[in-house]
A and B are shown apart, each in its own frame.
Chain A
Amino acid sequence: MSSGGEFGVLVVGAGPAGIAAACAAAGCGARVGVVDENLAPGGQVWRGEAHPEIDRLRQANAKVLSGAAVFDAPEPGLLLAVADGRTIALRYQRLILATGARELWIPFPGWDLPGVFGAGGLQALVKGGWDIRGRRVVVAGTGPLLLAAADYFRKCGAFVALIAEQAAKPALARFAAGLLSHPGKAGEAAALRWRLRNVEYAASCWPAQARGDGALRSVVLREAGREREIECDLLACGFGLVPNAELGMLIGCRTSRGAIEVNEQQQCSVDAIYAAGEVTGIGGAELAQVEGAIAGFCAAGEPGRARELFAARARARRFAESMARAFALRPELRALPAGDTIVCRCEDVVWGRLRTCEGWRHAKLQTRCGMGPCQGRVCGSSLEYLLGWRRDGARPPLVPVAVQRMLDAGGRD
């Protein structure tokens, strides 16, 4: 096992929150490390972009370890990560969790067909170098992410046949009215709306079935009690975001509705641990940056500089709350999966077998649901929405690793 370094402040995640936290702490003179599992900093929202914040991180006095996935937190002050097939030990005095969020999927018939992707998922894959010019894309699910994704696909030369938003018009109208108190956001929204003026946007609309033989050919959507079928090459669908709270849970941090609980200083319930960004509650990149900076200043021992950002955080939080209300998932979506719809993709467990189980642990033991490589991140989040099942904590390894990686850790000094 090798040492990845000893840090005054160690940040997990190099998205908007993690970058802001690292730069803030480094600016205070702390010895800062950032560990991120992606190929390069930027998280999801700035993936593959030459964003000024990423430059700021590169220029900051911080050691950035990309391509490294944290898999254990065996004792206070120590994280274990795997990179390039090797185990790396990272020691810290203060830890900032900026592990972001992942997409939520509600399984529907055919959602497991090749050609069906997450909304952010398709965007990420295209950013990875896939030219989708001329492809026909349907975007479905919920949230501002659908618009951002559709805008991106359009820019890439794909034809977006439809944006299907499950929220109802009145909810969306309330949200639009609320934008008036956030002028910057209103301007952004208007510009986005203009760019998407030729793309059909349907409210109260959601996917009922993805059809195709071995790969996607068309999507059947339900809207106002009627069904319509749209031929398409690609379906980009996502039903909101879920915090990646697993590392925080492993450390013992208190969570609330799946998000890590923090106080005004972005401190968690466990000593010396901070959290910022989507992992503390879904709120968008701007809020993530402010929270990250507050966490960075506080972890580096300069709470005065953090206090200057409290007003900005409050404003960004209010906007986030209005979004959460507008895009709340409607109860009809609980009827989306059919009895033979795959819910656990890793172990091919269908809805018919799961809906009669007593809870998460029972389902795991009876069906192997949640025991595959995603460790319940995909199916567990779906089942929490569908049946209200809480998953029971997190255990190491947080990601699948070769047994040797854990044995290597045993030989630490």
Chain B
Amino acid sequence: MPDPIRIRVDGAVIETAPGTTVSAALLASGRLATRRSVTGMPRGPLCGMGICYECRVKVDGVEHVKGCQTLCRDGMEVQLD
């Protein structure tokens, strides 16, 4: 079993296996909603394949990163809406 990697989500540490996408790690941590829509409604990933952009989160200071197409990296900082 490979060593788990650690990412931080709004400051909280989450452990996950290498090769996990950011969206999968967030969902596994119980965060089904990861952003707010333009009118403030809670939203989470829909398409899982990079089309809908509902999975977008801030990663290492960069906005609008698609969680479903980004692998977790040890030390990564994720910020949700």
Residues of A whose CB lies within 8 Å of any CB of B are 37-39, 44, 67, 69, 102-103, 105, 112-118, 120-126, 128-131, 214-216, 244, 342, 345-348, 372-374, 377-378, 400
Contacts and interface: CB of A to CB of B under 8 A. Distances in A.
Nearest to B28: A130
A121 B56 contact: no
Interface string B10-38: 00000011011101110110001100011
B39 A117 contact: no
Contact of A348 (B38, B44, B69): B38
Q: Which of A38, A114, A126, A374 has the most CB of B within 10 A?
A: A114
Contact of A123 (B44, B48, B50): B48
A374 B51 contact: yes
Contacts of B38: 346-348
9 contacts: A38-B50, A69-B50, A115-B44, A116-B46, A121-B47, A129-B21, A342-B37, A348-B41, A372-B53
Provide the main secondary structure of the chain B interface.
loop
Contact of A128 (B20, B33, B37, B41): B20
Nearest to B72: A129
B43 A121 contact: no
Contact of A373 (B16, B27, B33, B53): B53
Provide the main secondary structure of the chain A interface.
loop
A128 B48 contact: yes
B23 A125 contact: yes
Contact of B28 (A122, A129, A348): A129
The 9 closest A-B pairs by CB, nearest first: A124-B48, A129-B20, A128-B21, A128-B24, A121-B48, A114-B44, A114-B32, A129-B24, A373-B53
A378 B54 CA distance: 11
B37 A345 contact: yes
B24 to A, nearest CB: 4
B68 interface: yes
B46 A118 contact: yes
B69 A37 contact: yes
Nearest to B37: A348
Given A117-B46, A215-B32, A129 B52 contact: no
Contacts of B53: 346, 372-374, 400
A378 B46 contact: yes
B45 to A, nearest CB: 6
B71 interface: yes
A44 B49 contact: yes
Contacts of A348: 37-39, 41
Nearest to B54: A345
B61 interface: no
Contacts of A123: 48
B75 interface: no
Contact of A121 (B41, B49, B64): B49
Nearest to A121: B48
Contacts of A346: 38, 53
B16 A129 contact: yes
A216 B47 CA distance: 16
Contacts of A126: 24
A129 B19 contact: yes
Contacts of A129: 16-17, 19-21, 24-25, 28
Contacts of B64: 373, 400
Q: Which of B24, B38, B47, B69 has the most CB of A within 10 A?
A: B47
A373 B19 CA distance: 26
A194 to B, nearest CB: 27
B45 A131 contact: no
A125 B33 contact: no
Interface in B53-81: 53-54, 56, 64, 68-69, 71
A125 B50 contact: no
A244 B47 CA distance: 13
B43 to A, nearest CB: 6
Given A114-B32, A129-B24, A124 B42 contact: no
Given A39-B69, A128-B24, 12 more contacts: A102-B49, A112-B41, A113-B42, A120-B48, A128-B20, A128-B48, A130-B23, A244-B51, A345-B43, A348-B39, A373-B53, A374-B53
A69 B66 CA distance: 12
Nearest to B30: A215
Contacts of B32: 114-115, 215-216
A105 B21 CA distance: 24
